[in-house]
A and B are shown apart, each in its own frame.
Chain A
Amino acid sequence: MHAYITGVLTGAHFIDGDHSCAEGAIAAGCRFVAGYPITPSTEVVERMADRFPFVGGIFIQMEDEIASSIAIQGAVWAGKKAMTVTSGPGFSLMMEHIGLAAMTETPCVFVDVQRAGPSTGLPTMPAQGDMMQARWGSHGDYSIIALSPNSPQECFDLTVHAFNLSEKYRVPVMVMMDECVGHMIERVVIPEANKIDIIERKVYEGPKENFQPFDAGRDLVPMMVRAGDGYRIHVTGLTHDERGYPNMSVSAQGRLVQRLVDKVRVNADNIIMYKEEDIEGADVVVVTYGITSRTAIPAIEQAKAKGLKVGHLRLVVVWPFPEKRIRELAGKVKSIVVPELNMGQMVYEVERCAAGKCNVVCVPHAGGTVHQPKDILAAIEKSIRGK
């Protein structure tokens, strides 16, 4: 299915990542946004508030991020596609409702334009410090999907994709931007509506008797109904059975949590996206995501000019993590270098998958600005010295 034509601003634009993200959401069919102002994400909701009256959308500025992150879930159960947008401190406040969305299988999108933390940190400066929080921030076991755009164009493309994944798997999907990508102004091309692929949730329209709203088929994703359609569903954050009724048994917990985790794990190969360059025959692979993928490029070029064989793997989907590919590469290369605008987060995943088969080097940065390419270059050189 294709994008609904209302609201798709087909054409070339010169806009920043935040605005591009808003356009991506509108093109994806998002018609409900609840948010609370926080730098550097606010431009996303400002654009939604400006555009929504003309495309049949509702934006509401809630009293806090906690309210925003659950108001969108109410809207989803009334049939809308919905999203909220925030940055670090707000993202922290939303964690409980990421768990609720995972538990109740409520498709919704969380955009986090990351800034440097912890706490209030550096409100207007970039970081990538929320990557582990995106995956593990809510209590208990569940799965989510997280994407990491590295340009305003990708802020559009991946926001559309985030809605599609969310609708398909009924999981919360995070768009993990950062201040640089959010505020970077570049050319963004928005395709014609009929060139934008849209996935809608599977809607149940069968008999009302004995309908079990959380009875999933072979793809592990149950069909959805809306409040008001006469199915009289019950939705709870408690452990529940296929009927949606609370069930405090060990077996119900095991069955439900296993499925919530498996939904993404089993489908990981279909969800995972990364981009590779010059991997074949490389001695060193630089693994990046988001803005760091762009600061790594000059470092990789300089290393190549010095005669080193360096490849580049950029994570587009960060969660689920491409375990198989990293495992495979670790058996072939001498080292993997992981620059991140944090003190080392995704590098733990790389180390786990490399399992000692190659040298894994973290290039940490506490955030506030981007890496100096020379620091990444030094790490590349150091990573294979003596190997």
Chain B
Amino acid sequence: MPEELYDVEANIPANPIEDLLRMDRIPHIWCPGCGIGTTVNCFARALQTSGLDLDKVSVVSGIGCTGRVAGYMRLDSFHTTHGRAIPFATGLKLANPELKVVVYSGDGDLTAIGGNHFIHAARRNMDITVILINNMIYGMTGGQVAPTTPVGATASTTPHGNFEETFNLPFLAESCGAVYVARWTAHHVRHLTKSIKEALAKKGFSFVEILAPCPTLFSRRNKLGDGLDQMEFYRDHSEIKNGADTKTVALDFQSKIIVGKFVDKERPTYIDAMNAHYKAKFGDRYVPSDEIRKLSHA
């Protein structure tokens, strides 16, 4: 018989997001049951239907499991230092406002070591999209407690249970000035894809928190089963409440998860405010940065 009939691989359809992945870097490092890959799939599909020029999209990550996302996306991608993806993204965006800059990182990276940058980028309404994967733990370093670890959960550095108050991230983002705030779980792939697409289209600081299972270091230590069990938990315990007051969406240990789009409002971005201010103040004497950029590369 002809050999082709036995070529199983030839009959597997191409992964529809392959053009957005660095396939020469696959397989990835994430554990079986980890939710990060699912979110990357949603992100890629959102990009594919976003209408954005993908050559003008940059992904910036910090350090940690989610920090590896930048390395797998076939986009301009920057894997920076721990906690500092947002200030790197700030420089990138200000220096070339034509870029769509997406920060993709974890809960510990963005809200513990990088918390200061998170609140100030939101305050300035820096025109970037921040996608935060919340697995409630520091995964890559072995399951230490994070600002997002629920009270009562166990981590390697809270072996007797966590008693620290937990961040309510949508409330934090909104109170600092984010113009788009949403939360989903890795189970809500359709809602999440749509939400990321909206966040990408939003001018200003847009923020999407995604709960994702860490079966190896969070679920196992807390006796919550594997990745599938955690996804079932998301399915059974999530409630969609679009427009919910972010004060009311705090997370507890294995309690109800409020998901949805909480904030979608307008506010001048940093760059718009800067240009408007200097134009009003100096008129034609003001030379916007992007004009120089175009001139110098004409």
**Is B80's CB under 8 angstroms from A100's CB?**
yes
The contact string, 1 if C-beta is below 8 Å from chain B, for chain A 233-245, is 1111110000001
**Is A70's CB under 8 angstroms from B292's CB?**
no
How far, in angstroms, from A233 to B78 measured CA to CA in the complex? Answer: 8
How far, in angstroms, from A54 to B279 measured CA to CA in the complex? Answer: 11
Given contacts A70-B80, A77-B78, A54 and B282 within 8 Å (CB-CB): yes
How far, in angstroms, from A232 to B86 measured CA to CA in the complex? Answer: 20
**Is A67's CB under 8 angstroms from B99's CB?**
no
How far, in angstroms, from A235 to B80 measured CA to CA in the complex? Answer: 8
**Is B77's CB under 8 angstroms from A235's CB?**
yes
Given contacts A6-B287, A55-B287, A228-B99, A70 and B77 within 8 Å (CB-CB): no
Indicate whether A223 reaches chain B with its CB closer than 8 angstroms: no
Interface residues of B in 163-220 (CB under 8 A from A): none
**Is B285's CB under 8 angstroms from A245's CB?**
no
Q: In the complex, how many angstroms separate the beta carbon of A226 from the nearest chain B beta carbon?
A: 7
Interface residues of A in 344-376 (CB under 8 A from B): none
Count, A-B residue pairs, CB within 8 A: 155
**Is B79's CB under 8 angstroms from A80's CB?**
no
**Is B96's CB under 8 angstroms from A237's CB?**
no
**Is B91's CB under 8 angstroms from A231's CB?**
no
**Is B55's CB under 8 angstroms from A229's CB?**
yes
Indicate whether A75 reaches chain B with its CB closer than 8 angstroms: yes
Which residue of the partner chain A has the closest CB to B25? A245
The contact string, 1 if C-beta is below 8 Å from chain A, for chain B 41-79, is 000000000000001101010000000001100111111
Indicate whether B87 reaches chain A with its CB closer than 8 angstroms: yes
Indicate whether B233 reaches chain A with its CB closer than 8 angstroms: no
Q: In the complex, how many angstroms separate the beta carbon of A99 from the nearest chain B beta carbon?
A: 8
Q: Which of A55, A227, A232 contacts B74 (CB 8 A)?
A: A232
Given contacts A227-B96, A230-B55, A54 and B285 within 8 Å (CB-CB): yes
Given contacts A228-B58, A234-B71, A56 and B292 within 8 Å (CB-CB): yes
Segment at the interface with B among A57-65, A284-292, A313-321: A57-65
**Is A70's CB under 8 angstroms from B84's CB?**
yes
How far, in angstroms, from A62 to B84 measured CA to CA in the complex? Answer: 12
Point out which of A62, A67, A227, A238 has the most chain B C-beta atoms below 10 A from its C-beta. Answer: A227
**Is B58's CB under 8 angstroms from A227's CB?**
yes
Which residue of the partner chain A has the closest CB to B117? A67
**Is A234's CB under 8 angstroms from B79's CB?**
yes
**Is B79's CB under 8 angstroms from A58's CB?**
no
Q: Which residues of chain A come closer than 8 Å to B285, judged between CB atoms?
A: 53-54
Indicate whether A279 reaches chain B with its CB closer than 8 angstroms: no
**Is A232's CB under 8 angstroms from B76's CB?**
yes
The contact string, 1 if C-beta is below 8 Å from chain B, for chain A 57-90, is 1101011101110111111111110100000000
How far, in angstroms, from A80 to B97 measured CA to CA in the complex? Answer: 12
**Is B286's CB under 8 angstroms from A53's CB?**
yes
How far, in angstroms, from A64 to B115 measured CA to CA in the complex? Answer: 12
How far, in angstroms, from A70 to B55 measured CA to CA in the complex? Answer: 23
Given contacts A70-B84, A74-B90, A237 and B79 within 8 Å (CB-CB): yes
Given contacts A4-B296, A71-B87, A228-B55, A56 and B287 within 8 Å (CB-CB): yes
Which residue of the partner chain A has the closest CB to B72? A234
Interface residues of B in 82-130 (CB under 8 A from A): 84, 86-96, 98-99, 116-117, 120
Indicate whether A97 reaches chain B with its CB closer than 8 angstroms: yes
Interface residues of A toward B: which range? Answer: 35 or more
**Is A73's CB under 8 angstroms from B282's CB?**
no
Which residue of the partner chain B has the closest CB to A80? B95
With an 8 Å Cβ cutoff, the count of chain B residues facing the other chain is: 48
Q: Which residues of chain A come closer than 8 Å to B84, judged between CB atoms?
A: 66-67, 70, 97
**Is B87's CB under 8 angstroms from A228's CB?**
no
Indicate whether B243 reaches chain A with its CB closer than 8 angstroms: no
Point out which of B55, B70, B76, B289 has the most chain A C-beta atoms below 10 A from its C-beta. Answer: B76
**Is A78's CB under 8 angstroms from B286's CB?**
no
**Is A67's CB under 8 angstroms from B116's CB?**
yes
Indicate whether A163 reaches chain B with its CB closer than 8 angstroms: no
Q: In the complex, how many angstroms separate the beta carbon of B36 from the nearest chain A beta carbon?
A: 16
Indicate whether B22 reaches chain A with its CB closer than 8 angstroms: yes
Which residue of the partner chain A has the closest CB to B275? A53
Point out which of B25, B94, B278, B295 has the most chain A C-beta atoms below 10 A from its C-beta. Answer: B94
Q: Which of B74, B76, B91, B287 contacts A75 (CB 8 A)?
A: B91
Indicate whether B254 reaches chain A with its CB closer than 8 angstroms: no
**Is A32's CB under 8 angstroms from B87's CB?**
no
Given contacts A31-B292, A232-B55, A238 and B79 within 8 Å (CB-CB): yes
Which residue of the partner chain A has the closest CB to B296? A4
Q: Which of B74, B80, B90 contacts A60 (CB 8 A)?
A: B90
Q: In the complex, how many angstroms separate the beta carbon of A36 from the nearest chain B beta carbon?
A: 11
How far, in angstroms, from A68 to B86 measured CA to CA in the complex? Answer: 11
Which residue of the partner chain A has the closest CB to B90? A71
Q: Which residues of chain A come closer than 8 Å to B296, judged between CB atoms?
A: 4
Given contacts A54-B286, A70-B87, A74-B90, A228 and B98 within 8 Å (CB-CB): yes
Indicate whether B288 reaches chain A with its CB closer than 8 angstroms: yes
Indicate whether A96 reaches chain B with its CB closer than 8 angstroms: yes
Point out which of B55, B74, B289 has the most chain A C-beta atoms below 10 A from its C-beta. Answer: B289
**Is B286's CB under 8 angstroms from A77's CB?**
no
- CB-defined A-B contacts under 8 Å, sample of 29: A34-B87, A53-B278, A55-B292, A56-B287, A56-B288, A56-B293, A66-B84, A70-B91, A71-B90, A73-B88, A74-B92, A76-B95, A79-B95, A79-B96, A82-B91, A96-B81, A97-B84, A100-B80, A227-B58, A228-B55, A228-B98, A230-B55, A232-B55, A234-B71, A234-B78, A236-B79, A238-B79, A245-B25, A246-B79
Residues of B at under 8 Å CB distance from A? Answer: 22, 24-25, 55-56, 58, 60, 70-71, 74-81, 84, 86-96, 98-99, 116-117, 120, 274, 278, 282, 285-289, 291-293, 295-297
Residues of A at under 8 Å CB distance from B? Answer: 4, 6, 31-32, 34, 53-58, 60, 62-64, 66-68, 70-80, 82, 96-97, 100, 226-238, 245-246
Closest 9 CB pairs of A and B: A74-B91, A56-B292, A78-B95, A71-B91, A74-B92, A67-B87, A236-B79, A75-B95, A78-B96
